[in-house]
Chain A
Amino acid sequence: MIELRQVSKTFPNGTVGLKDINLNIQTGEFVVIVGLSGAGKSTLLRSINRLSDVTSGDIQIDGQSITSASGSKLRSIRRNIGMIFQSFNLIKRTTVLNNVLSGRVGYHSTLRTLFGSFPKRDVEIALTALERVNIREKAYIRADQLSGGQQQRVSIARALAQEATIILADEPVASLDPLTTRQVMDDLQRINRELNITTIVNLHFIDLARDYATRIIGLRAGEVVFDGSVHEATDEKLAEIYGRPVKADELLDSSRDMQGVGVV
């Protein structure tokens, strides 16, 4: 369970990133965070694994405060949280398998990882993770040889190899085409359901959010302005989140057909 208590973040230049956020996210939920760019979606997600620090408030992961943790305590909390990035952030010059194995480093001593000698069990975990995202046959190929969609699946496999109980995905499909977008979202959903991994995804596309989420959180100017089920997230409600009617390029399906034709 993830609990955010009165979380606020102000950037050094005075910009308000997050404003008094209170959220409880239960194990196994598939949460999609929507909002305009600059609304604080990324900041919120990155504060959950403390890639960025909050100014005040407390974030607890399964009862442990990540905001006050440091050193090995912080690293062991992070180990349980997989993260998926818009730009994949793979180590391009090395094999897919090595990339997935890098998700295991949190379990081993520095000395052991220094020589890249992972135990056999880790290799099995990594291969199983690749199997789950249907690219096991690419295990020994260099990561930069793969297409964007395949690279994103490698990064999902890396999160799985972590044996994470939470997956954070920051705009995971923003640099993918519509078809691979669906495939990657399907992978995330399947993993969420089969392994009961709490999944929090930042998305730009409203229709995609409705298709996959069990819960939608709307952010505007760093504040939670909507928090409810997919059914409650009507067009009117979303218009409130955005402060204006939903635009065509915020719908995956219309942006696939053509750039903004006939959608409000």
Chain B
Amino acid sequence: MKSDTNLADSTPIPSISPSSNYLITNGLGNTKRSKRIATWMLFIVIIVVCSIYIDVTPYQLFVGLPEMGVLLKEMFPPDWSYLPTIWAPMLQTIKIAVAGTILGAIPAIPAALFSANNITPNKWLSLPIRTLLNLVRTVPDLLFAAIFVAVFGIGPFAGMLALLFFSFGIIAKLTYESLEAIDPGPLEAMTAVGANRIQIIVFGVIPQALPAFISYLLYTFEINIRAATVLGFVGAGGIGLLLNQSLGLFRYDRAATIIILTLAVVLIIDYTSTSIRRKLL
């Protein structure tokens, strides 16, 4: 490897002639290769060092793997008689995700408009809102849920509120970024027509940004459906509560029913949402 690098380094940068051209590309190829090898080495070193520090060893995998088999065996056959009991919490999970996404998307619209530099040139307005958005996005959804459970008590309201904040952060951020990428031409045309600020937004900005906004809304909804299934673990409503209970009571057959139903719901929603988004963009 070392000699390769040397060769690359010592390759003179000559006057361009067809024969020397070969040398150059060859030399560059070698530096590229050694760089790639170095990157991989670094990568492996990082993994090894990290796993030593946190006591993660392949040994644990070997020990745990048979346990996995035991668990799977206990899960099958799933307890289908449990299905009627989990319908209502499953629906509640979906409702939490729907409400949280939509209620988060509404304040995301003005937040995005005020963050986009091409629409709000005033830095004193856009900067604080951007900072707020960044802060909101640093908090994971489960942490939000835990906080709101502490404040508003156990139940779906806390979960909905958690997803509301979470969706607000994502949708506003993604939307303002696509707002900044819109074609400035129509905005200029609307200015020339004598439109005021709101009219410029209604006629010049919204028609351009709406498809992206709806796409982000659906994407966030996909994420939220998954998040909503585990909200119950911290007492924030939905199917997670029952899943947590079943696991705690070692009723893995019931847990399996919940997991399969969740999987089916997530797959259906993902598929529908993805195909709508593809049509939008």
A85-B185, A89-B186, A89-B188 as given contacts; A76 in contact with B194, CB under 8 Å: yes
**A110 with B196: in contact, given A91-B204, A91-B208 (CB under 8 Å)?**
yes
Beyond A94-B207, A114-B202, is A105–B193 a contact (Cβ under 8 Å)? Answer: yes
Given the known interface contacts A91-B208, A93-B207, A105-B194, the answer about A113 and B189 at a Cβ–Cβ threshold of 8 Å is no
Residues on the B chain within 8 Å of A77, using CB = 194
CA gap between A49 and B186 in the complex, in Å = 16
- Is B199 interfacial (CB-CB < 8 Å)? yes
Within the complex, the shortest CB–CB distance from B187 to chain A, in Å, comes to 8
Q: Which of A51, A114, A116 contacts B191 (CB 8 A)?
A: A51
- Could you say which of B185, B188, B194, B204 contacts A75, with CB atoms under 8 Å apart? B194
CB A197 to nearest CB in B, in angstroms, measures: 15
B189 touches A83 (CB 8 A): yes
Of residues 88 to 121 in A, which have CB atoms within 8 Å of B's CB atoms?
88-91, 93-94, 102-103, 105-106, 110, 113-114, 116
Contacts of A41 in B (CB 8 A): none
Inter-subunit contact A78/B203 (CB<8 Å): no
Question: Which chain A positions have C-beta within 8 A of B16?
Answer: none
Interface size band for B: 20 to 34
Distance between A99 CB and nearest chain B CB, rounded to angstroms = 9
CB distance from B271 to the nearest CB of A (A): 26
Known A113-B203, A114-B202; judge A75-B186 contact (CB<8 A).
no
Q: Inside 8 A of B41's CB, which chain A residues have their CB?
A: none
A87 at the interface (CB under 8 A from B): yes
Q: B192 near A81 (CB under 8 angstroms)?
A: yes
Instruction: Give Cα A93 to B211, complex, Å.
Output: 10
In the complex, A116→B198 CA distance in Å? 12
Q: Is the CB of A90 within 8 A of B193?
A: no
Using C-beta atoms within 8 Å of the partner chain, give the interface range for chain A.
Answer: 20 to 34
Residues of A within 8 A of B207 (CB): 91, 93-94
**Binary CB contact string for chain B from 201 to 228 against chain A (1 if under 8 A, 0 otherwise):** 0111001100100000000000000000
Interface positions, chain B 159-183, Cβ under 8 Å from A, are 183
* Contact with B193, one of A72, A87, A106, A110 (Cβ below 8 angstroms): A106
| Distance of A152 from chain B, by nearest CB (Å) | 12
Bound form: Cα–Cα A102–B208 in Å = 14
Chain B residue numbers with a CB within 8 Å of A93 are 207-208, 211
Does B103 sit at the interface, judged by CB under 8 A?
Answer: no
Does any Cβ of A come within 8 Å of B195's Cβ?
yes
Closest A residue to B204 by CB, please name it. Answer: A91
- Asked if B185 contacts A87 (CB within 8 A), the reply is yes
Is A162 an interface residue when CB atoms closer than 8 A count as contact?
yes
Q: How far is the CB of A75 from chain B (nearest CB, A)?
A: 4
In the complex, besides A75-B196, A83-B192, A105-B195, 6 extra interface pairs with C-beta distance below 8 angstroms are A78-B192, A78-B193, A93-B207, A94-B207, A105-B193, A116-B202
* Chain A positions near chain B (C-beta within 8 angstroms): 49, 51, 72, 75-83, 85, 87-91, 93-94, 102-103, 105-106, 110, 113-114, 116, 155, 158, 162
- CB-defined A-B contacts under 8 Å, sample of 16: A75-B194, A75-B195, A79-B193, A81-B192, A82-B193, A85-B189, A88-B185, A90-B186, A90-B189, A91-B208, A103-B193, A105-B195, A106-B195, A113-B202, A155-B189, A158-B189
